[in-house]
Structure formats: C-alpha cells, structure tokens
Amino acid sequence: MEVILVPDPAAAGAVAADAICALLDRKPDAVLGLATGGSPLAIYDELARRHRAGRVSFAAARGFTLDEYVGLPADHPESYRNVIDRDFVSRVDFPPGAVQGPDGLAVDVEAECAEYEAAIGRAGGVDLQILGIGTDGHIAFNEPGSSLASRTRIKSLTRQTRMDNARFFGGDVAAVPVHCLTQGLATILEARHVVLVATGAHKAEAVGQLIEGPISARWPATVLQLHPRATVLVDDDAATRLELGDYYRQTYRAKPDWQGI
C-alpha cells in the first residue's frame, strides 16, 4: 500500500488526476471504476478542468460505478447514476452509455448483481478504481461485517452511513434508503489499481484502521492491505491517527519522479 499525505483535498485530486491521465495516455480505452460521494469530487473537478484544456479525453474510456441505492426512482437526483452523471460524466466526453451502474430498481436483484459482475468482466476488468472511505470503514457500500470475499450483492446500510448521507437528502435520515447494491470487496480487489481518497477529520479513525490496523471485516477497507497496487491519498485532517506519518512523508518526498503512483 502506498500512502501519500497531502495538505488538502485539491492536492489529492491533482495526484489522482495525474494517475488517471497517465493511464488514459497509454490506454485510451481504459476502464475506470467511479466512486460517488464527496471524496472524489476534487478528482472529477481536476479531470473536468484538464478535459476543457484539451489535455485528456474519455471518448474511448468506459466506467463502472461502485454502488446504487435500492428503490430510488430513476429520476431521483441522489440515485448514483444521476450523481455520477452530474458530478463527472456530463462534464467530460464519455460516449453515451459508456458509464454503467448497478440497477437499484431491478426486480431480480441476484440476476442484476451477477450481470453487473459479468459486464465488468466483459469490459476487461477495471484498470483504475477510485474509492472513498466511510467513517465506519466501508468502501463502496461494504459495511462492517462484509465478507472479505464478497461479490456484488444487496446490503443494508448502517445507521451511521445513513446519517452521514442524510446531507444529500435534505438532512432527513429517514429519506436515505435502507438497502443498496454494491460491488463486493473481492470485486474491488480485482481492479488493477485502486486509488482511495480520504479527507477531513471525520475520516481519521477509519484511515488509521485502513492503513495501520489489522485486516478485519470490522473495518472493511482494511482488505486493501491485500491489494498489490493500492494508493491511499490522505489529507492532513484525516492523517492524525497515523503512527508512521513521518515515514510516509519521507518516502513520498524521496520517490523518483518517473515512477508515478
């Protein structure tokens, strides 16, 4: 796991955008794993800026989102298909239909989850997966207790996650769906490169567990310790529980420029 400590969310966005642009340079038809929520916004802002400047194109790329609420109407502004469209897809040049997500309105949930896994497989797998982390240690919507070998499936959201996400639903926890479809932890581990962004003091405990805690379903993000190429971008506010912060800083400072992340 490569840990990069950055001063603020914009700096994290720039480092992640560099990695995505480098990937698209060498593989224009790359498959991106797209996260929703607050964490990736600085990445999407930076990529939209670089796209407007003619520095990156998504015209041959594809994308898969991580998860979706169950039961939100298709035109609900907080359905993750609409969120990813608003936050990123509509701001760059993905062709129509190039970005997919699990269907939270599917009648046959198990068939939908299996088909989503198959679609990722048919696309050749995810080249670079963007991730955030929940305050309870979830990645995608793999809540505490998730099997470390899980695949795409239906999950129940914790009260904590529903409270964290109530800000998107007018502050009303009851309006946040109880169920979701989410890629599993084993699904995410198959991405060839994982880039997780964690910013803000409310993420400090989860970040401490993710990077320096024992691998455990109690903190599902810790499964990333098993990934051969995981990059974790942490801002100062989220880094306060790390014991080895000086080591991470020194390592990144001494990293050869050509290496990238």
Catalytic residue ranges? 67, 136, 138, 143
Of 37 and 213, the one with the shorter C-beta distance to ligand PGA is: 37
- The CB-of-38 to ligand PGA minimum distance in angstroms stands at 4
Binding test (CB under 6 A) with ligand PGA, winner from 3, 47, 133, 207: 133
| Residue 226 neighbours by CB under 8 Å, 6+ apart | 189, 215
Q: Residue 56 in contact with residue 43, Cβ under 8 Å?
A: no
Tokens representing 136 are 């309870």
Answer for which of 33, 37, 63, 137 binds ligand PGA (CB under 6 A) is: 37
Query: Which residues in the 136-155 window bind ligand PGA by CB under 6 A?
Result: 138
Residue 86 vs 255, nearer CB to ligand PGA: 86
By Cβ distance, which residue is nearest to ligand PGA? 37
Smallest separation, CB 139 to ligand PGA (Å): 6
Q: The tokens 């239909």 sit on which residue?
A: 97
Beta bridge partners of 34: 65
Residue 200 C-beta: closest distance to ligand PGA, Å: 7
Nearest residue to 199 (alpha-carbon basis) of 147, 156, 240 = 240
Give the separation between CA 83 and CA 36, rounded to whole angstroms.
7
For 128, half-sphere exposure in the C-beta direction (CA atoms, 13 angstrom radius) is 23
Piece of 11-19, 31-39, 111-119, 249-257 that binds ligand PGA (CB under 6 A): 31-39
Q: Which residue has the tokens 């997780």?
A: 196
Half-sphere exposure of 40 (CA within 13 A, CB side): 29
Q: Is 13 in the site for ligand PGA (CB under 6 A)?
A: no
Q: Which is nearer to ligand PGA, 179 or 249 (by Cβ)?
A: 179
**Minimum distance from residue 202 beta carbon to ligand PGA (Å):** 8
Task: For residue 181, state whether it binds ligand PGA (rule: CB under 6 A).
Answer: no
Both tokens of residue 2?
């490569």
**Chain residues 38-57 in contact with ligand PGA, contact rule CB under 6 A:** 38-39
CA distance 154 to 70: 8
Q: Give residues in contact with ligand PGA (CB under 6 A).
A: 37-39, 132-134, 138
